[in-house]
Amino acid sequence: MNQVDKQIMETGVVPVIKLENPERDARPLAEALCAGGVPAAEVTFRAAGAEEAIRRMKAARPDMLVGAGTVVSAYQVDLALEAGAQFIVSPGLDVDLVQYCQEKGVPVYPGCTTASEYQAALKLRLEVLKFFPAEQSGGLAKIKALAGPFPQFKVMPTGGISLQNLGDYLSCPVIAACGGSYMVTAELIGGQNWAEITRLCRQSREIVEAVRK
Ligand code: 3PG
């Protein structure tokens, strides 16, 4: 486990963010997440200019853990790292991309949901994997089944996580943290509803703490 793995595990939830207007929203969003006790973010390259959002969130809250998501090329890894990203998440397992991140010394969490992908991840000496898309790929039942032959991995499920199932996922010891967009939806960000984002983060943290008590 590296320091970033540990920070992610400690926070328990990682907001998956798509920021269309980083100039306007990066700073207040970073403040809103931190105010809700979730000083962590996966900023996805689904929106152009994700590197700008990463840069601005880090500038606003240097204490926050900010990573890049939906990273599918070495070029995006470079953009993310230049902007200050502290971890890289990709939707699938791309061996070249993982090795590139390892050469750069940045933690990388590739999406894996099958025994073959877990086996490839083992070869790459990974310890924490993204499990994506979680609910659509079999959810907690599949995560538990894969933990049989592969007990060495911790996983970070994303895709279909909500306040309703967060507790179930987190109560499984294989789960490092859960990722999701439910506390940072396009509506909430578009409407600059920072108070609601803080409230949803706080509620998520209460679930994390209740499960880990
Ligand atoms: C991701 O990119 O990790 C997921 O799309 C997040 O899934 P969600 O929107 O269902 O939370």
Whether residue 85 contacts residue 54, with contact meaning beta carbons closer than 8 Å, is answered with yes
Whether residue 155 contacts residue 135, with contact meaning beta carbons closer than 8 Å, is answered with no
Task: Say if ligand 1 is within 6 A of residue 161 CB.
Answer: yes
Q: How far is the CA of 155 from the centre of ligand 1 (A)?
A: 15
Encoded amino acid at 73, one letter: S
Q: How far is the CA of 105 from the centre of ligand 1 (A)?
A: 25
pLDDT at 8 over 90: yes
Task: Tell me the three state secondary structure of residue 191.
Answer: coil
Task: Say if ligand 1 is within 6 A of residue 184 CB.
Answer: no
Bridge partners, residue 16, by sequence:
42
Note the pLDDT of residue 137. 97
Judge whether 130 counts as a catalytic residue. Answer: yes
Q: Which of 206, 207, 210, 195 is nearest to 35 (CA)?
A: 195
Task: Say if ligand 1 is within 6 A of residue 180 CB.
Answer: yes
Judge whether 209 counts as a catalytic residue. Answer: no
Q: How far is the CA of 98 from the centre of ligand 1 (A)?
A: 20
Whether residue 130 contacts residue 109, with contact meaning beta carbons closer than 8 Å, is answered with yes
Note the pLDDT of residue 121. 98
Task: Say if ligand 1 is within 6 A of residue 158 CB.
Answer: yes
Whether pTM > 0.95 for this model: the answer is yes
Residue nearest to atom 4 of ligand 1 (CA): 159
User: Which tens digits make up the pLDDT trace of 174-183?
Assistant: 999 999 999 9
User: Which tens digits make up the pLDDT trace of 156-172?
Assistant: 999 999 999 999 999 99
Note the pLDDT of residue 49. 85
User: Which tens digits make up the pLDDT trace of 77-92?
Assistant: 999 999 999 999 999 9
Task: Say if ligand 1 is within 6 A of residue 113 CB.
Answer: no
Task: Say if ligand 1 is within 6 A of residue 160 CB.
Answer: yes
Count, residues in the chain? 213
User: Which tens digits make up the pLDDT trace of 94-134?
Assistant: 999 999 999 999 999 999 999 999 999 999 999 999 999 99
Question: In whole angstroms, what is the distance from residue 185 CA to residue 190 CA?
Answer: 8
Q: Write down the catalytic residue from 51, 52, 58, 130.
A: 130
Average pLDDT over all residues of the chain = 97
Question: In whole angstroms, what is the distance from residue 61 CA to residue 46 CA?
Answer: 22
